[in-house]
Amino acid sequence: MLRLLIRTLIFLLSATLGLLAAAWLLPGVELSVGGFIVTIVVFTVAQNVLSPFIMKMTARNAPAFLGGVGLLSTFVALLLSTLFTGGLHITGWQTWILATLVVWLGTALGAFFLPMFMLKKTVQKKRTPTSGLPI
């Protein structure tokens, strides 16, 4: 259960990093304060539901495109987030392409590096003696 909670937290944090990076770097991407949390949750859920589905469909029908599954699921998750929340607005086709790349890269880097930091602290806590005696 704890592992699922940590994994969910990592997905939420990495989606937050990716979306914030896109909003900061791209003038056509706007995140509103009011819908920010809902946007993050919708994006994270959509990406986590769509990725395995898109992976399965791609592997079955077009295996040469397996490398683009992350980009495609990021694009669809961004699209769903803009349609079903008021917290994300993307204007212009070039911005859609760039936002997909930036958010994908941000979430990928976050999903790679965040566990290292989170697990490092957990491992350090387990090694810290509570009695003050050296181990």
Buried b / exposed e across 51-88, counting CB within 10 Å, b at 16+? beebeeebeeeeeeeeeebbbbbbbbbbebbbeebebb
- Cβ-Cβ contacts under 8 Å for 95 (sequence gap 6 or more): 26, 27, 28, 29
- pLDDT for 71-114, tens place per residue? 999 999 999 999 998 899 999 999 999 999 999 999 999 989 98
pTM over 0.85: no
- Is 90 exceeded by the pLDDT of residue 58? no
Range of 60's domain? 2-118
Say if residues 30 and 88 touch (Cβ distance below 8 Å): yes
Does 29 reside within a domain?
yes
Structural domain tally of the chain? 1
Residue 38, φ and ψ in degrees, nearest 5 = -60, -40
State which amino acid sits at residue 119. Answer: L
Q: What percent of the chain has pLDDT over 70?
A: 87
- Is 60 exceeded by the pLDDT of residue 135? no
Does 12 reside within a domain?
yes
Does 27 reside within a domain?
yes
The residue count of the chain comes to 135
- Cβ-Cβ contacts under 8 Å for 24 (sequence gap 6 or more): none
Does 126 reside within a domain?
no
Does 127 reside within a domain?
no
Does 84 reside within a domain?
yes
Report which of residues 59 and 99 the model is more confident about.
99
Does 128 reside within a domain?
no
- Is 60 exceeded by the pLDDT of residue 43? yes
Instruction: Give the pLDDT score at 116.
Output: 85
Does 130 reside within a domain?
no
